Amino acid sequence: MTREHDAFLFVYFANGDGPDVEQIRFAVSDGPDPTQWWVLADGSPVLRSDVGEGGARDPFVLRDRRTGRFHLLATDLRAVPDGDWARAVRHGSRSLVVWHSDDFVHWSEPQLTPIAPPNAGNAWAPKAVWDDGEQRWLVFFAAALYAEEDSRESATHQRILVARTDDFTSFGPAEVALDRGHDVIDAAYLQAGDAWYRFSADSLSDDPTIRSQHVSQEVGSDPTAGDFTLVANEIDAHALRRGEGPAPFSGLDGDGHYLLVDEFELRGYQLFHAQDPSTGSWRHLADARLPPGARHGSVLPITAAERDRLITTFGATRA
């Protein structure tokens, strides 16, 4: 059987405190092997945001099979150098930065696209999932929600919202998809067989009195279903001091499934593998050669022609 895709595109932002770390970088895998990567454009940003807050974090890239177009969504946030997270969750951007492309090489200008409701303090870490039933895209993101009369002197917890779109130029009303009464961010989804796995940076540990800084995994029948149950908490804790920004994806050669977890402000992304995700047991691939300092992003399967075009256009160096 001929394989549809031959490699992966990895989009991410960078560790550090330099002036352009919060911009979008690209890498491509060494064929179907996601443990070996080529960094494009010598590690410089391929896409830059000059709209909204002027920073673009947590990029998510997708292929719309209906149109053949590619879309890249990112958090509209500049946290460097002031690191004012209090402002970011109370009075941050309620929009996403969005780019569109027909070939991964030529991209539209960045567009600031509202997605969160007026009572939201932020809109973070978008992830898009195609819904066969609705024939629309579901875009999940994290936001803090405040009452209309709230002065926002104190932050409220982050929850996961979902909005629907046909074209990524506008979004329908956002609804709460997951609210646990404590911070949950970075929800990401992996379909394996008939099951959907949800990964999130959940602040719960196995001890409900202790907050965590690691990634949890659940399983459900559908991304919007209310039947998700816990597979395991802190699935990255055996290898990382802390983790967020989970980015799951399936292998191309039937070699199971992969998960990137951002050991934020430390080593950045680290790669994990599980042949069967239902176990909740993920092996740390410590020898994987990832782009240096890569942080919270996403991975998309691409063809050999698309990979070659990216390398020819931007140039590539071994990670």
pLDDT tens digits along 219-245: 999 999 999 999 999 999 999 999 999
Which spans in the chain are helix H?
A: 85-90, 304-314
Using CA atoms, how far apart are residues 92 and 86, in angstroms rounded to an integer?
9
pTM assigned to the model: 0.97
Task: Output the pLDDT for position 118.
Answer: 97
Task: Output the pLDDT for position 215.
Answer: 98
Q: Could you tell me the two tokens for 1?
A: 């059987």
Using CA atoms, how far apart are residues 292 and 15, in angstroms rounded to an integer?
8
pLDDT < 70 regions, the chain: 1-2
Name the residue ranges covered by the structural domains of the chain: 7-318
Task: Output the pLDDT for position 205.
Answer: 82
Task: Output the pLDDT for position 207.
Answer: 84
What is the Cα Rg of the chain in Å? 18
Task: Output the pLDDT for position 2.
Answer: 56
Taking CA atoms, 5 is separated from 99, 165, 252, 283, 306, in Å, by 23, 26, 7, 24, 10
Task: Output the pLDDT for position 1.
Answer: 40
Query: At 279, is the secondary structure helix, strand, or coil?
Result: helix
User: Residue 261: which H helix or E strand, with range?
Assistant: strand 257-263
Using CA atoms, how far apart are residues 213 and 61, in angstroms rounded to an integer?
25
Residue 178 CA, distance from chain mean position: 17
Annotation: CATH topology of 7-318: Tachylectin-2; Chain A (2.115.10)
Using CA atoms, how far apart are residues 7 and 5, in angstroms rounded to an integer?
6
Task: Output the pLDDT for position 254.
Answer: 86
Task: Output the pLDDT for position 202.
Answer: 92
User: Residue 126: which H helix or E strand, with range?
Assistant: strand 124-131
Among residues 101, 100, 106, 126, the alpha carbon closest in space to that of 115 is found at 126
Task: Output the pLDDT for position 31.
Answer: 94
Using CA atoms, how far apart are residues 177 and 125, in angstroms rounded to an integer?
14
Query: At 189, is the secondary structure helix, strand, or coil?
Result: strand
